Amino acid sequence: MNQRPARPQWTGVDTYADPLGRFSFRIPSDWHRFELEHNLEGVLFAPAQVDPQTFISAWVRKLETNVVLEDQALLREGVAEGLEQLGELALESEDDSAYGNLLKFERIYSFHDGVATRKRKVWIMYVDKWQIVVTYQGESPEEYEYWLPMGNYAFFHFNIPQELWFATDRDLNQPSPLAAPERVKRGRQSQA
């Protein structure tokens, strides 16, 4: 009988890069890749080859408008309402951050999925006109703890390109308080 090691073993690391360049992250090279359901643009990686319930995933959705810091309270309410849809939610921690107009909501929680109890860490980010969601889930709280080094590694190496960071910079994206200078015609003036 195969006994699994007390801690997960690294065999290598790969980088997944979103085809449109909106994010990238690192994952164990021996994890299996799955496409996401519901037409979500993203990917899921799991140690199990069939019916993955322990996984790391990331997906992105284009929003109808650009998100700004002033939207944070409303979005926080939406995050809470979304989590309340899960069965028997037990919220362990929450952290809300803002970097200019980039908003990040981090939640760690467990919930009931039928008869099973799952545990998740999720980042819900609003980056200019994009919603980006990164999730690490354990099939059970015990599996969550077992695979946590891989989940933390993926989160630690999650990257958003500079172009999106610049798009959320409040100082770069405010109209200039100075009026544009009047253009002075150059060259020889024609005589009528």
Residue 1 lies in a domain: no
For 14-68, what is each residue's pLDDT tens digit? 999 999 999 999 999 999 999 998 889 999 999 999 889 999 999 999 999 999 9
Q: Check residue 6 and give its pLDDT.
A: 80
**Inter-CA distances, 144 with 11, 53, 89, 110, Å:** 19, 10, 16, 10
For 147-165, what is each residue's pLDDT tens digit? 999 999 999 999 998 876 6
Q: Check residue 58 and give its pLDDT.
A: 97
Q: Tell me what the mean pLDDT of segment 173-184 comes to.
A: 55
Residue 88 lies in a domain: yes
Count of other CB atoms within 10 angstroms of residue 7: 10
Residue 159 lies in a domain: yes
Residue 114 lies in a domain: yes
Q: Residue 181 — very low, low, confident or very high, per pLDDT cuts 50/70/90?
A: low
For 55, list phi and psi in degrees, rounded to 5: -165, 165
Residue 10 lies in a domain: no
> Which tokens in the block code for residue 32?
């299996």
Q: What residue numbers bound the domain in which 141 lies?
A: 51-167
Q: Check residue 189 and give its pLDDT.
A: 59
Residue 136 lies in a domain: yes
Single pTM value for the model: 0.83
> Which tokens in the block code for residue 128?
């200019």
Number of domains in the chain: 1
Residue 175 lies in a domain: no
Residue 34 lies in a domain: no
Angle at 161 between CA 158 and CA 163, to 5 degrees: 155
Angle at 155 between CA 132 and CA 96, to 5 degrees: 60
> Which tokens in the block code for residue 34?
């799955």
**What CATH number did the domain enclosing 83 receive?**
3.40.1000.10
User: Has residue 168 got a pLDDT over 70?
Assistant: no
